[in-house]
Amino acid sequence: MKILAIQGSPRPEGHTQAVLDIVLDAAAQAGASTEVIQLSEYHDLSGCIECFACQQTPDAPGCVVEDDMQDVLHRLLGADVIVLATPVFCWSPSWYLKMMMDRCYCLFKFRGPNQVECLLEGKKLAAVISSGGPEGDGADLVIQTCSRLAEFSKTEWLGAFLAASVKDVESIRADGELIERARAFGRKLAS
């Protein structure tokens, strides 16, 4: 079982990563191999330009935008479980993660009216979300965005882990209840 986490926080050592570390450590202890892509460390990223050139390549991404997303797209295809990790930014995922999600358009192949195939079909998708605010203050919308991507891409939605009202990394690492929930989620991803 290969778990690939796409970390969308602009702070690679912030709240989202602290929670993701707990989740992925538990998944690794349960036997999964884990990898994290820190999108903030990629310096050549751009959004989808909606040119539809990707539709000319039926069995590969086919994206003509030559940037660091090419590597991410191919690594997505090699994963069994994809974890979208993000803080809540203005009721949505961070721009890094949203840009990556937009670029996944090239993984959808439109074969005809109401006939959409996805190169991610059969994989599993989950989310790890951190929020400075309470549970219903935007995190619900991020969860809905991620779950809808799972549904449209014909992946199995494994759910979302939410660390709400987090203040700092130290408090995350000291919160026994949060840690146990995160570990349980990690074990679920590995099963």
The pLDDT score that the predictor gives to residue 45 is: 93
Whether 76 and 82 have beta carbons less than 8 Å apart is answered as yes
The pLDDT score that the predictor gives to residue 149 is: 96
pLDDT tens, position by position, 93-133: 999 999 999 999 999 999 888 899 999 999 999 999 999 88
Give CA–CA dist 162/17, Å, rounded. Answer: 13
Question: In the 8-state DSSP scheme, what is residue 55?
Answer: G
Give CA–CA dist 118/135, Å, rounded. Answer: 31
Residues of the chain with pLDDT under 50: none
Whether 6 and 100 have beta carbons less than 8 Å apart is answered as yes
The structure's pTM equals: 0.95
- Please report the domains of the chain, with CATH numbers, ordered by start residue: 2-190 (3.40.50.360)
